[in-house]
């Protein structure tokens, strides 16, 4: 099957169980797929755009209502859709960071946070994670003090990942935000792995901003994401334009410069909206996801030598394991080297683990059914047995 001459139809999630860490939470719902087809045309959401001519005011389809619902769901005061969590970081960084300003990230931060700071001219100071790969409030306070000493002023912004992409560990953003607010540092909660996966309450967390990723965690097409703000910060990050042309004197009303006027259009936005009812429901059942993750992880750990590098017990389904003393022993002598592992999995209809990786790798069971989790568990055990690894 082909979309066009050189473009094959993609059937990954139809033909296999996909445990790719970054893809698990972004798989579209059937409703989002319909939205992609119906709203794929360019400015399709603009049919009924009326004054004051901004995306988040459009009533048909119900984009304005969606913005209200989304803000309420995150327990924040204002929200905009953006092309990915990274664009949320960028909008916030552009608002608070000027040349040479120190910004707090962590030693587990995603690269897009670094780029957002770089583009705004800031410098990055990382809060180091502890030996268990957890970022603590004490470490945040110590780093804020260190920055004050070195730079003569506090950091102008902090971006803290609730669940980091490396270990899938959960960090106490609430306590970290409390500490950083003592230095008047605005805190952006990076929910790329949590918004749309588990319940997120911005007010309870006490953060200034919540960023989420539509295509990673909200069953939405790429590029999509959300940026939510408190009433206090809303005026700053969602400020309206004041520029005008010198010849025409034109002004641009309520367009927001940090959002470049209108943000998500067409299939991305309507896909995000179409999945939203299902996403709101699924966050209430994250316990089931953790149970499925445990089924798979227990099986992996039954293969002698396998270690979990993520915190235990697991608080998120993204998990990092070390199989240097198990599956990699097979890779050492196998003609396919490390690729034996991914190809053995693929033969069993399992994809998403980096081809060639047999030492340290990540998987994400999010969205699997219990039957699929059991199948995954059995597959890992079977691959171990087929290759004469001891299983307890």
The residues of the shown chain that bind ligand PLP, judged by CB under 6 A, are 22, 84-86, 110, 112, 161, 165, 190, 192-193, 213, 215-216, 225
* Residue 156 or 192 with smaller CB distance to ligand PLP: 192
Cα angle for residues 181, 182, 184 (degrees, 5° grid): 55
Cα angle for residues 118, 119, 125 (degrees, 5° grid): 25
Residue 53 DSSP label:
-
**208 in Cβ contact with 231 (< 8 Å):** no
* Residue 133 or 190 with smaller CB distance to ligand PLP: 190
Tell me the closest approach of the beta carbon of residue 331 to ligand PLP, in angstroms.
Answer: 27
Tell me the closest approach of the beta carbon of residue 295 to ligand PLP, in angstroms.
Answer: 24
Q: Residue 160 and residue 172: Cα distance in Å, rounded?
A: 9
Tell me the closest approach of the beta carbon of residue 344 to ligand PLP, in angstroms.
Answer: 28
Coil, helix or strand at residue 96: helix
* Residue 193 or 363 with smaller CB distance to ligand PLP: 193
* Residue 163 or 379 with smaller CB distance to ligand PLP: 163
- Pick from 107, 110, 24: which is nearest to 318 by CA? 24
Cβ partners under 8 Å of residue 299, min gap 6: 376, 377, 378, 380, 381
Tell me the closest approach of the beta carbon of residue 366 to ligand PLP, in angstroms.
Answer: 13
* Residue 197 or 300 with smaller CB distance to ligand PLP: 197
**202 in Cβ contact with 210 (< 8 Å):** yes
**20 in Cβ contact with 10 (< 8 Å):** no
Residue 341 DSSP label:
H
* Residue 364 or 372 with smaller CB distance to ligand PLP: 364
Tell me the closest approach of the beta carbon of residue 26 to ligand PLP, in angstroms.
Answer: 9
Coil, helix or strand at residue 252: coil
Tell me the closest approach of the beta carbon of residue 165 to ligand PLP, in angstroms.
Answer: 4
* Residue 161 or 328 with smaller CB distance to ligand PLP: 161
Q: Residue 105 and residue 125: Cα distance in Å, rounded?
A: 6
Cα angle for residues 168, 173, 176 (degrees, 5° grid): 130
Tell me the closest approach of the beta carbon of residue 375 to ligand PLP, in angstroms.
Answer: 26
Tell me the closest approach of the beta carbon of residue 36 to ligand PLP, in angstroms.
Answer: 17
Tell me the C-alpha to C-alpha distance, in Å, between residue 146 and each of 53, 142, 178, 202, 365. Answer: 46, 6, 18, 28, 39
């Amino acid at each position: 099957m082909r979309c066009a001459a050189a473009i094959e139809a993609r059937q990954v999630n139809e033909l296999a169980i996909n445990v790719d860490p970054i893809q698990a939470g972004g798989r579209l719902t059937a409703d989002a797929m319909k939205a992609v087809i119906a709203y794929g045309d360019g400015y399709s959401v603009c049919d009924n755009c009326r004054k004051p001519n901004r995306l988040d005011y459009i009533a048909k389809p119900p984009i304005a209502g969606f913005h209200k619902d989304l803000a309420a769901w995150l327990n924040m005061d204002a929200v905009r859709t953006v092309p990915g969590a990274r664009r949320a970081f960028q909008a916030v960084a552009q608002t608070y960071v000027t040349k040479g300003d120190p910004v707090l990230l962590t030693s587990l931060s995603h690269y897009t946070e670094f780029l957002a700071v770089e583009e705004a001219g800031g410098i990055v100071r990382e809060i180091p994670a502890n030996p268990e790969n957890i970022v603590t409030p004490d470490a945040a306070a110590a780093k804020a003090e260190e920055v004050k000493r070195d730079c003569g002023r506090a950091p102008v912004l902090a971006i803290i990942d609730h669940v980091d992409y490396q270990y899938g560990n959960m960090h106490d953003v609430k306590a970290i935000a409390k500490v950083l607010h003592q230095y008047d540092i605005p805190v952006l909660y990076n929910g790329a792995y949590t918004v749309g996966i588990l319940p997120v309450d911005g007010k309870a967390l006490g953060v200034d901003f919540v960023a989420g990723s539509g295509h990673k965690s909200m069953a939405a097409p790429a590029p999509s994401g959300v940026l939510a703000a408190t009433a206090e910060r809303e005026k700053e990050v969602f400020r309206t334009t004041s520029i005008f042309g010198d010849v025409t004197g034109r002004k641009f009303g309520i367009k927001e410069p940090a959002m470049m006027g209108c943000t998500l259009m067409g299939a991305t936005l309507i896909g995000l909206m179409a999945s939203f009812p299902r996403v709101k429901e699924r966050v209430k059942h994250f316990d089931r996801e953790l149970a499925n993750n445990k089924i798979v992880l227990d099986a992996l750990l039954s293969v002698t030598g396998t270690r979990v590098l993520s915190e235990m017990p697991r608080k998120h389904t993204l998990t990092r394991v070390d199989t240097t003393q198990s599956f990699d022993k097979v890779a050492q002598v196998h003609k396919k080297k490390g690729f034996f592992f991914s190809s053995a999995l693929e033969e069993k209809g399992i994809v998403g683990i980096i081809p060639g990786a047999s030492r340290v790798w990540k998987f994400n069971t999010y969205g699997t059914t219990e039957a699929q989790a059991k199948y995954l568990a059995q597959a890992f055990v079977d691959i171990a047995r087929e290759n004469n690894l001891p299983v307890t």
